Structure 1
Amino acid sequence: MIFATNIFFTLAHISTVLLAKSVPGISWIGNDVLRLDRDRSVAEFYNYLQALITVVLLARAFVLSRQGVFLAWALIFAFIVLDDAMLIHERVGGLLAAKLALPALPGLRLRDVGELIVWGVAAALLLPVLIWGFRSSTRQAAGYGVLLTFIFAVLVFFGAGMDMVHIVVAPWSRLAGAALAVAEDGGEMLALALACSYALLLDHRLSTRPVAITPDAIHHDRDPASQPD
């Protein structure tokens, strides 16, 4: 259901863009409500929901298991929610571009370079948290963390990598720009859907694991005096 909802929003985006171009009188639909690439659209709020569920479930996984890797990833996904909701990297990146003499990169605006710097600083701050999470966890929990790392890499690929490719290519071809917009935002949604689904499965596994049998419990079961008549 999570993935089906994401696919629906992607198809709705494509449909409304095509509709807006063919019927200008209803272009407001294609420009705001159902567009993947518009701030405060329905799809964006659904993205917030997916990310928030992921954060809550990973925090719950830490409470249930006391494995630091789950807390580390909960904090990282919490930063993603705050960044998207408050436009942190866009605003700070624009501020850096306005205040500092940033180097120009081919095909990118100065604010894009500023955004890359913000992402780099965020990664430098969050990496020690992630390292601590892996080092403080069991091998099994660390294995779960590796899968979360893969999911996060997919999210970064679409959210940051494809974003920069889109900025470079869009001025050269409107069609390619439109296709890359779908790949960028749709791919980011699907990556968050994967994270949310994985967190749900992880929560189910940790919540339904067998209760450990203690030595005292075994001794109690073997004690004839404790057996009912």
Structure 2
Amino acid sequence: MALIEINFLRRLLFSQHGYVCLRDDKAALKVGFTLSFLVVVLVLVHIVTHQAINISNYENMLLIKIHEFINLGNDTSLSETLNHGMLFSCAAIFLYIFFKTYARVMLFFNVFFIFAWLDDSAQYHERVGGVVSESLRIPSLFGLRGQDFGELIAWASIAVMLLAVALWAYNGKQPGDLNIVVILSKPIAALIFCGVVFDILHIIIKGYWADLILTVLEDGGEMISIAAAVAASLAVLNGADKIYKNK
């Protein structure tokens, strides 16, 4: 699992093209790989403690406490706190670059990461999804609960708002914007894929091993994607002057 996570990050980091390339920014790469190393450690501790608790013949309170503290799926765990910090950092970086370059695409990514941070820290789609599900009395279909359909509607509402910002950014596009989109596209696509596809599979597929594997793929994959996004954000920050020097 850990090797898969590392290879996944490397593919995300080393496939950028344009005026600024992430592979050329050593400082950003160091941050990205440091964060990815922390993620891999958290994933391994999660797996080991999860398995140790499962096979233990008695209730080991130390293992239980460690697992609760690290648990990838726990909204108050160290893993989630790291996620919150990385997402907030991305949002802050792009807000700073926006005021530095006034490139609208920077504000789009700022809004995207703000939404991602708020959703991760305040459970936006879970809470709104619950309200929508109860209000519309959405039934269970295709192995999904009404709550799950409500959460998809909550995500769709965010997508509509992001689309509005994207259209505004496109209307005021600058020559260097495509470079930014290329650098950020794969980490963001991976983040959305892990957060939506693996989340749905986690709901549909039941069982001990399915729960463990899909938790690692969903939450661990999200963390790796966000670590890559932080590195990409720093590369954009360091190369902003180069990207927009010809505007």
Q: TM-score range by the shorter chain?
A: 0.7 to 0.9
Residue of structure 2 in register with 1:174 after alignment: 208
CA contact (8 A) 2:139 2:145 kept: no
Distance in 2 (alpha carbons) for counterparts of 1:39 and 1:93: 17
Question: Which letter maps to 1:136?
Answer: G
Indicate the SS of the match to 2:140: coil
Residue of structure 1 in register with 2:224 after alignment: 190
Structure 2 gaps of 5+ residues are 1-33
Q: State the 1:192 CA deviation.
A: 0.6
CA contact (8 A) 1:31 1:38 kept: no
Check 1:145–1:44 CA distance in 2 against 1; reply closer, same or farther (3 A cut): same
Deviations 1:60-118 (A, max 9, x none): 12122111001111011001111111111101111222221224321111101110011
Match among 57, 62, 66 for residue 93 of structure 2:
57
Larger radius of gyration: 1
Does residue 118 of the first structure (1) align with residue 154 of the second (2)? yes
CA contact (8 A) 1:16 1:34 kept: no
4+ residue runs over 6 A deviation: none
Residue of structure 1 in register with 2:35 after alignment: 2
Distance in 1 (alpha carbons) for counterparts of 2:177 and 2:238: 15
Residue of structure 1 in register with 2:75 after alignment: 39
Q: State the 1:2 CA deviation.
A: 1.5
CA contact (8 A) 1:6 1:189 kept: yes
Question: Which letter maps to 2:213?
Answer: A
CA contact (8 A) 1:48 1:81 kept: yes
Give me the CA root mean square deviation.
2.1
Does residue 163 of the first structure (1) align with residue 199 of the second (2)? yes
Residue of structure 2 in register with 1:68 after alignment: 104
Which stretch of structure 1 is more off in the superposition, 57-66 or 73-82? Answer: 57-66
Distance in 1 (alpha carbons) for counterparts of 2:130 and 2:182: 33
CA contact (8 A) 1:2 1:197 kept: no
Identity score, percent: 29
The correspondence of residues 138-149 of structure 1 with structure 2, limited to 5 A, is 138-149=174-185
Distance in 2 (alpha carbons) for counterparts of 1:19 and 1:66: 52
Taking structure 1 as the reference length, the TM-score comes to: 0.85
Taking structure 2 as the reference length, the TM-score comes to: 0.79
Structure 1 gaps of 5+ residues are 213-229
Which stretch of structure 1 is more off in the superposition, 116-125 or 27-36? Answer: 27-36
Indicate the SS of the match to 1:138: coil
Does residue 90 of the first structure (1) align with residue 126 of the second (2)? yes
Residue of structure 2 in register with 1:21 after alignment: 54
